[in-house]
Amino acid sequence: MSIIDDIKSAAEVLRKADNIELYQKLLTAQKQALEIMEENRNLKEENRNLLKKIKIKGDMYLRNDAYWGSKDGKEEGPFCTRCLNVESIPVLLHQQGNPAYYQCPNCKSSIKARPELDQPIVAKKFNPFNNGYDL
Ligand SMILES: [Zn+2]
């Protein structure tokens, strides 16, 4: 039996006993109990979401200004540091033209997450003896 059922039972006894003053106080207590139960439910939901966010961030590591994770032994990422730090959502970055650079589809941050793949633009020089361009 819940606290609300107990209050209802007590209120019914008071109503039958014609104790209106105590009956009104019990109705007020019932309303407050319902508000506390609703607040408790909301706090539990908020706590569950916070724990989920902490777990997501706890499973990740920072490298080259991006978050990385792993799933089934395979590396996942890169994820946006701004979105995970500020909004607590893991947003997978999108690779740009240069494979070293990524952009967040959410906040549009641009990150050099894979510097090992950086392909600097190299000017080609015309070689008239080779009938074309050399590096
Ligand atoms: Zn972002």
84-112 pLDDT, tens per residue? 989 888 999 999 988 899 999 999 999 99
The gap from C-alpha 56 to its chain's centroid, in whole angstroms, comes to 8
Instruction: Determine the distance separating the centroid of ligand 1 and the alpha carbon of 72, expressed in angstroms.
Output: 25
Instruction: Determine the distance separating the centroid of ligand 1 and the alpha carbon of 89, expressed in angstroms.
Output: 9
Q: Which of 54, 75, 92 is the last residue of a domain?
A: 54
Q: Which range marks the domain in which residue 111 is found?
A: 60-117
> Contact 93/79 with Cβ under 8 angstroms?
yes
Question: Percentage of the chain surpassing pLDDT 90?
Answer: 53
Instruction: Determine the distance separating the centroid of ligand 1 and the alpha carbon of 19, expressed in angstroms.
Output: 62
The gap from C-alpha 24 to its chain's centroid, in whole angstroms, comes to 44
- Residue 109 token pair: 């941050």
The gap from C-alpha 47 to its chain's centroid, in whole angstroms, comes to 13
User: Residue 19 falls within a domain, yes or no?
Assistant: yes
Instruction: Determine the distance separating the centroid of ligand 1 and the alpha carbon of 65, expressed in angstroms.
Output: 12
User: Residue 93 falls within a domain, yes or no?
Assistant: yes
Name the phi and psi angles at 126, rounded to 5: -70, 130
Residues 49 and 65 in one domain: no
What is the C-alpha to C-alpha distance for residues 44 and 21, in angstroms, rounded to an integer? Answer: 35
